[in-house]
Structure formats: C-alpha cells, structure tokens
Amino acid sequence: MFTDKKNVLQLVALLKAHQITRVVLCPGSRNIPLVHTLSTHPDFTCYAITDERSAGFFALGLALNGGKPAAICCTSGTALLNLHPAVAEAYYQQVPLVVISADRPAAWIGQMDGQTVPQPGVFQTLVRKSVNLPEIQTEEDEWYCNRLINEALLETCHRGRGPVHINVPLSEPLFQFTEENLPDVRVITRYQGLSPYDRDYSGLIDRLNGYSKRMVLVGQMNLIYLFEKRYTKLLYKHFAWLTEHLGNQTVPGLPVRNFDAVIASLSEEKAEQMAPQLLITYGGHVISKRLKKFLRQHPPKEHWHVSADGEVMDLYGTLTTVIEMDPFEFLEKIASLLDNRTPEFPKQWEYYSKMTPEPDFPYSEMKVVGELIKQLPESCALHLGNSSSVRYAQLYTLPATVEVCCNRGTNGIEGSLSTAIGYASSSDRLNFVVLGDLSFFYDMNALWNSHFRPNLRILLLNNSGGEIFHTLPGLEMSGTSHKFITAVHQTSAQGWAEERGFSYLKADDEVTLAEAMTLFTQPEQGDKPLLLEVFTNKNKDARILKEYYQNLRKQRTADPA
C-alpha cells in the first residue's frame, strides 16, 4: 500500500511515466511518505545511503552510467543542504539529476521547529528548474502539482541536461499507507522539433489523423506570415481555425475571428458538439474569457502547444504535448502528413461564424469602436488599449491590411499610449490608438515627449472610470467601495491635448459622433495629430452589451440548425 499524500502519489506516478526509476533514498521522518511509496513500488530500484553528501554523488554516478536521469530523495532541513556539492557538480557536468526534498508545510518554516530551513529554490542558479509542490486539497491543486512535476522532469533533458529540484511539503500524519494504486496522471511530453533524429513522431501523426474534431487556436502574434497556396490548400479543411485580431495574419485561409460571440450563442448541448478532441495552439495571449471557459469545461483529449521556446503553457488545463518548433515550420511539416478526409467539424464552426452577424449597437462605446473600424483607411496600424477597447474591437470584422497591436503580454493599462506613440514615431502609416480614460490619464505623460507626429490619432473612450468592472456580476453589491473599484472621475483630455498640439474633437451622441468620426478617419495626414474624446454612459453600455449576448443565445435557440 502507498501513502495517501496526493502530491507524493502524483510525483511517484510521474517519475514512473518519465522512466526515472533509479532512486537513492536517504533516511528521515518527513520523507517517509516518499520513501515508503518509492521503495514498495516494484518499478523502482532504490538505494539506501545515509550521508546525503555521498548519496548525492552516488546518484550522480547512477545518472552518468546510462545517461538516463536518476533521483535522490532526502528529508527536510540540513539534509537537503548537504546535497549542494553534488547538485553543483551535476549542473556543471550537465547530468540529469532529480533532487526530491521533503519539507514541512510553509507555516512552520522559521518557527524553531526541528529540521526546517527555507527549502524552495535553495539551489538557486545551480539547478535548471526548481518547483515547490502544493499539498493537494482541490482539483486545481492537483492540476498545478501535476504541471509543476512535469515541468521539472522535462527540464532535466531540455536543451542540454542538468539537475532539477522538487520540494514536497508534507503535513502529518506521515504513516498513512492506504492507497492501493498510483493514480492515472497526465504526462506532458516534449518534442524538440519533428525530426526522426530526436524521437519517433509517427505516433503523433497517427493520433493527429485519428481525431475528426481538430482545432487550431492562434494567440497574439505581431507579424504577417504568408503561407504558400499549396500549404493553405493542404491544411485549411482539416481544422477549425480560430484567432482574434491580435493574431494578425498568421493563419492559413479564413479563420473564425468572432468565436467569442459564437460561443456565447451556443446551448450547452451544442457547445459539447463544437468542442475539439485535439487542440493545437500557437502564438501568445488569447483575450476571450468565454473561450477559456469553454475549453476548460469541454476539455480536449489532447492539447499540443507549438512554440519556438518549448515552454510548458497549460492555459486550458489539458496540455499533453509541447512541440518546440517554429509554428509555421510545424504546419508546413504536418500539411503533407494529414490524411485525405474532409471532416465536418471545421464547417460547423464556419457555419456558426457566418450565422453570427456583426452587432448594430445604439450609441455606446461599442458603437464608437464599430464606427471607427468600419471607416479605418485600408492600411494602417490599430493600437488597442486593454480592458474594454481590445474586447469591443473583437466584435467587428477588421480588414486584413490593418495591423493590430496591444500590450497583452501583461495586460497592464499603464503604457498603452507610450507604446503606441513609440511605434507610430517610426511608422509611415496612420496609427490609430483606442483606449479607455483610466488608461489614457494613467499614461498621459506619453504626450509630454515630442516624438509624435500628425500620423497619430487617439480615440479616447471616456466613460469617467473603469467600464470593464460594470460587466462583472456583483458590482452592484459593492456599495461604497464602488467608487474605488471603478475609480470614478470627471476629467476631460481637452486641455492637455490642445496644450500638446493636438486637434481636439469631441462626441457625446450619435450625431456628433458621425461628424467627428469622418474627420478622425480621413486618410490624408493633416499637419496635426488628432484626439477624439467620446463621452458615454457606462451603466447604459454595460446593459446594452448584456442584452446583445442574451439575444445571441435567443436567436440561436430559435434557429433549428
């Protein structure tokens, strides 16, 4: 029987799955759940050694002989510190060594309890990866624990080799051996390119062809990639291709861009049918919260993430495979390996995308963004602020010639304007910036420098505070804290804009908006940059948006397809 500690069970099951089965065990009490489980499982070969200084080097020798990673497990406190020389040697000799330390729960560190030192990250730069496992209480803890262990074990042999440290906090009682079996655990596999010299990838291609519901989801990418026609032809029909405006031109064919609205319209039953069995992702951040929820509630059987850096990115909680490769090379590689079937799944997504028309809002921020997008000159750059601006833009179709930028890496509101001005300062095209009032006033000294030119047009959506928080269910319960949450204010940009040499335009209803937007989007660059400040009512905007999503669902329910 094995320990009942779930983090230990995950660890032992993953060591086995990653074929790390030679383990040096050092004596102690805190590591009893680990020692007992490893030594009673028939798949592990265990070596008992008392002095950790020698045990570490013994494990190093095991790993050197044969090249496969070996592990060493010790108890808490100075026991771990005694492994330091062996870890240093493993690091500089590039030997894959897994150091597993038992630890007390964090609450007891530094409280004069026996054998405690701050263990997480203790080896600092001498390990390739250091993780501190949670004690598992919830499903999310279990997923997190599993991911950390996978990440650490994968790192022993990734772009070279070397040691990793896994710290395992364990609460008492330590002698509870009630589990008969190791759990079925999610194993993350990494392919370093698709090359027969690295590892056989035929199984991957067989599985790729085995699924009929395949989706490629592309996150933020600041570039244009022109697929050769033959690749587009080979690839397009096999997948439902989803991307947002931030994906720019990085997808073959015509991707589904309004998927957020499509998902909002689906019944639970339909959503189940529209979920992929295989999800392939590349690119950076995805904005749609609805999509994240949809993929977490309807998990694919496999999720492959393709990226040049080969990092583990488990946004949807079901990552199974990391393919360390340029995504376009990957697509061109698999194009000729896909079988000849034409699955229905992509057509369904296309159908629902077409059935979800662009919204036609009454006067509101959403309307303002829609009007801008409709009247944008053919070729320009569109810089979207975080919060509502980037989300509202997603409601509309954007010409492929418009380049979209957004500080989505960290989703901060502080530097959107400065970034856009930096970009525009060396751009020949018109640069449109759309952002909310908090984002604008936060970063208003972006206009203090003198590097902006007449090719800059700022659309300021001024709703006197943080609009996005009005879409949160429950804001009405915040009472007096409301004004702090949404940072209510009454400030206009007019004085500052004019002082900095902008032509200032203003709109506060449908008529003034139409007039101002025509001037704002004229293709000729005048002699001054423009700032259009639009005033709306945030409570009303939030209601209009809510009704829009409710109507989408109603329309779809009425539609028998």
Ligand X SMILES: Cc1ncc(C[n+]2csc(CCOP(=O)(O)OP(=O)(O)O)c2C)c(N)n1
Which residue ranges make up the site for ligand X (CB under 6 A)? 385-389, 411-414, 436-439, 463, 466-468
Q: In what order do the strands lie in the sheet with 456-462?
A: 403-405, 380-384, 430-436, 456-462, 530-535, 503-507
Sign, CA torsion 309/310/312/315: positive
Q: What is the DSSP string of 450-496?
A: S---TTEEEEEEE-SS-GGGGGSTTGGGGGGGHHHHHT-----SHHH
Q: Which is nearer to ligand X, 155 or 467 (CB)?
A: 467
Residue nearest to ligand X (CB): 436
Three-state DSSP class for 194? coil
Q: How far lies 325's CA from each of 207, 232, 310, 333, 395, in Å? A: 19, 19, 7, 11, 32
CB of 258 to ligand X, least distance (A): 20
Shortest spacing between CB 327 and ligand X, in angstroms: 28
Minimal distance in Å, beta carbon 387 to ligand X?
Answer: 4
Minimum gap (Å) between residue 486 Cβ and ligand X: 8
Least separation, in Å, of the C-beta of 179 and ligand X? Answer: 43
Q: Which is nearer to ligand X, 332 or 414 (CB)?
A: 414
Q: Which is nearer to ligand X, 76 or 463 (CB)?
A: 463
To ligand X, the closest distance from the beta carbon of 471 in angstroms equals 9
C-beta closer to ligand X: residue 156 or 389: 389
Three-state SS string over 117-178 comes to: CCCCCCCHHHCCEEEECCCCCCHHHHHHHHHHHHHHHHHCCCCCCCCEEEEEECCCCCCCCC
Nearer to ligand X, 324 or 541 (CB): 541
CB of 218 to ligand X, least distance (A): 23
Minimum distance of ligand X from residue 434's CB (angstroms): 10
Q: Which tokens hold the place of 215? A: 């989706």
Instruction: Write out the two tokens for 392.
Output: 């509202």
Name which of 258 and 463 has its Cβ closer to ligand X: 463
Q: What's the closest the beta carbon of residue 345 comes to ligand X, in angstroms?
A: 35
Distance of CA 500 to CAs 199, 381, 382, 447, 453, Å?
A: 60, 22, 22, 7, 11
Question: Which of residues 250 and 388 has its CB atom nearest to ligand X in the complex?
Answer: 388
- Residue 346: both structure tokens together: 């992509």
Inter-residue contact 248 to 404 (CB < 8 Å): yes
Confirm if 404 and 246 have CB atoms less than 8 A apart. Answer: yes
Beta bridge partners of 530: 457, 503
- Quick one: CA dihedral 158, 161, 162, 165, positive or negative? positive
Nearer to ligand X, 159 or 489 (CB): 489
By beta-carbon proximity to ligand X, the closer residue of 371 and 437 is 437
Integer angstrom CA distances of residue 239 from 36, 208, 293, 351: 47, 11, 20, 14
- 435 touches 382 (CB < 8 A): no
> Which has the closest alpha carbon to 556: 291, 274, 364?
274
Nearest distance from C-beta of residue 445 to ligand X, angstroms: 15
The answer to whether 338 and 234 have CB atoms below 8 angstroms apart is: yes
Q: Which is nearer to ligand X, 86 or 438 (CB)?
A: 438
Tell me how far, at minimum, the Cβ of 415 lies from ligand X, in Å.
Answer: 8
Identify which of residues 280 and 384 has a Cβ nearer to ligand X in the complex. Answer: 384
